[in-house]
Chains A and B, each alone.
Chain A
Amino acid sequence: MTEGAHDMGGVRGYGKVVPEPNEPMFHAEWERRAFALTLAMAKPGEWNIDMSRAARENRPPEDYLAKSYYEIWLAGLEQLMAERGLVGRDELEAGRVLRPPPPFKDRLSPEDVAQVLYRGAPTGRAPNAPARFKAGDRVRARNIAPATHTRLPRYVRGHAGVVELVHGCHVFPDSNALGAGENPQWLYTVCFDGTELWGPGADPTLKVSVDAWDAYLEPA
């Protein structure tokens, strides 16, 4: 969602970055299992990455900020499963199966793991129209505030920048997250001066880019 606490760029007050000694990859056995369950459930659940992200971020700020990273993953997974009737909230609370599963297509087999990870899920699609912009063009990030999932961060909305890279057509997360189709669009890296984003007090050597789909942009 548009105004969620996940959209953190430029927000003050979170303090210093504190790297952790030894940086364990997982901090408890449940984090390992939550990570793997989330990856594996995408197959029988048939959701896409944008639906996963939307499920994780679509929660009240106090909830998002109180949860650790894998607690957010877990909450997102539980929501995706409940929405599809794969596992009911009552089953999650009871901690056991209360009804047989609805029909589902497939599950991830150990034999397929290496291949599935190596293949990934590319989001590039054949262009359906010429690109509206080219490298060097001045563009403005539209001042929009969608009520549903978007990948246009608040801190660039309304600001002007320059197209730096043209990536081809990619699946559009705003519609893909809603199950409303891939709606592939041209994707650009748009670079903004620090002073454009943060005003005259900004670091004069700073430039920040986001990757922006065509629908996020207008000529400037």
Chain B
Amino acid sequence: MAHEHDHDEEHSELSETQLRVRALETILTEKGYVDPAALDLLIETYETKVGPRNGARVVAKAWSDPAYRAWLLEDANAAIASVGYAGRQGEHMVVLENTPKRHNMVVCTLCSCYPWPVLGLPPVWYKSAPYRSRVVLEPRGVLRDFGVELPAETEIRVWDSTSEVRYLVLPLRPEGSAGLSEDALAELVTRNSMIGTGLAKRPGEPA
């Protein structure tokens, strides 16, 4: 889990790994195991279609519509599927509601389990040793790494994703957001607020 950034393509020569993967794809294509067009589609899906904007839409809807919020907390799979998101690495969704008394954080200490249909692929830090090792032990220290300080009395509830159940945090609706449309609310929902390493933005707050 080291040197995540040493293989940048900006290096003038192709890395050994680049050459190895290129050869591997050729071997697998020649043997007939993979169709390169399917590979392109897989990459395109996660680079352009599936990402945290999906989750933000779910959260904004829950903030706007009490019946939807109740459904989301009761049966997350059905409520999330109703807005069009489902599938791989989100087959068994549970939504965790933050309250003024309780702040939820999600991790996978064993690997990198993460709710793809609503958040896309996880960022490097989520998969990194510092986050995976420390959030179950010193979550407030991790929150400080993200510039977040919570009241000392707030319960910190950490969910380790050790099964195929995937967790999405429903962050607190920010102050000053009354009357905003769902689209405007979705703009306030940061990716990190849906993992628990951040809070939703207040209206007018920079990204």
A residues with CB within 8 A of B = 6-20, 23, 25-37, 39-41, 44-45, 49, 53, 56-57, 64-69, 71-72, 74, 78, 86-87, 91-92, 95-97, 100-101, 104, 107-110, 112-114, 116-124, 151-153, 155, 165, 167, 170-171, 173, 187, 189, 191, 197-198, 202-203, 205-213
The contact sample of 28 A-B pairs, CB cut-off 8 A, is A9-B107, A9-B110, A9-B160, A10-B136, A14-B128, A14-B130, A14-B133, A18-B145, A20-B125, A28-B17, A29-B18, A30-B18, A30-B20, A30-B21, A36-B38, A40-B39, A45-B33, A87-B28, A96-B26, A101-B32, A107-B33, A110-B37, A119-B87, A122-B164, A167-B92, A173-B163, A206-B139, A208-B158
Q: What B residues does A6 contact at CB under 8 A?
A: 110-111
Is B1 positioned at the interface, with any CB of A under 8 Å from its CB? yes
Point out the residue from A15, A23, A91, A151 that lies within 8 Å of B163, measured CB to CB.
A151
Mark contacts of B122-152 with chain A using CB atoms, 8 A cut-off: 1 yes-contact digit, 0 otherwise.
Answer: 0111011111111011111010011000001
Q: How far is the CB of A147 from chain B (nearest CB, A)?
A: 16
A92–B123 Cα distance when bound, in Å, is 29
| A165: chain B residues within 8 A (beta carbon) | 94
Q: Which residues of A contact B131 (CB under 8 A)?
A: 17
The verdict on A69 contacting B28 (CB below 8 Å), with A14-B134, A53-B111 known, is: no
**Chain A residues near B15 (CB, 8 Å)?**
28, 30
Whether B160 pairs with A15 at a CB distance below 8 angstroms is no
Closest to A52 in B: B111
The 5 closest A-B pairs by CB, nearest first: A9-B109, A95-B23, A211-B163, A36-B39, A30-B21
- Asked if A208 contacts B111 (CB within 8 A), the reply is no
Residues of chain A contacted by B41 (CB below 8 angstroms): 110, 113-114
The complex places the Cα of A86 from the Cα of B109 at a distance, in Å, of: 31
Residue on A nearest B41 in the bound complex, by CB: A113
Contacting residue for A205 out of B3, B21, B34, B152, CB 8 A: B152
Question: Which residues does B use to contact A, with CB under 8 Å?
Answer: 1-9, 15, 17-28, 30-35, 37-43, 45-47, 86-92, 94, 107, 109-112, 120-121, 123-125, 127-134, 136-140, 142, 145-146, 152-165, 197
In the complex, the answer to whether B91 meets A27 with C-beta atoms within 8 Å is no
Name the contact of B155 in the complex, choosing from A68, A173, A205 (C-beta under 8 A): A205
If A107-B35, A108-B34, A208-B136 touch, whether A113 touches B45 (CB-CB below 8 Å) is: yes
Decide yes or no: A207 and B158 within 8 Å by CB, A17-B142, A20-B125, A96-B27 being known contacts.
yes
Complexed CA–CA distance, A3 and B142 (Å): 25
Cα distance A101–B18 in the bound complex, in angstroms: 24
Whether A17 and B8, one on each chain, are in contact in the complex, defined by CB atoms closer than 8 angstroms, is no
- Which label, helix, strand, loop or mixed, suits the secondary structure of the A interface? mixed
Q: How far is the CA of A210 from the CA of B159 in the complex (A)?
A: 6
B86 neighbours in A (Cβ, 8 Å): 118, 120
Kindly state the separation between the CA atoms of A19 and B87 in the bound complex, as whole angstroms.
Answer: 27
Instruction: Determine the residue in chain A with the shortest Cβ distance to B2.
Output: A66
Quick check: B145 and A209 within 8 Å, CB to CB? Answer: no
Interface pair A68/B1, CB less than 8 Å apart: yes
Instruction: Note all chain A residues with C-beta closer than 8 A to B111.
Output: 6, 53, 56-57
Per the bound structure, the CA–CA distance linking A20 and B146 in Å amounts to 11
- Give Cα distance in the complex from A195 to B8, angstroms: 43
A97 touches B33 (CB 8 A): no
Among A33, A109, A206, which residue has its beta carbon within 8 angstroms of that of B158?
A: A206
A173: chain B residues at CB < 8 Å are 163
Cβ contact within 8 Å between A27 and B23: no
Decide: A203 near B138, CB < 8 A? Known: A153-B109, A165-B94. yes
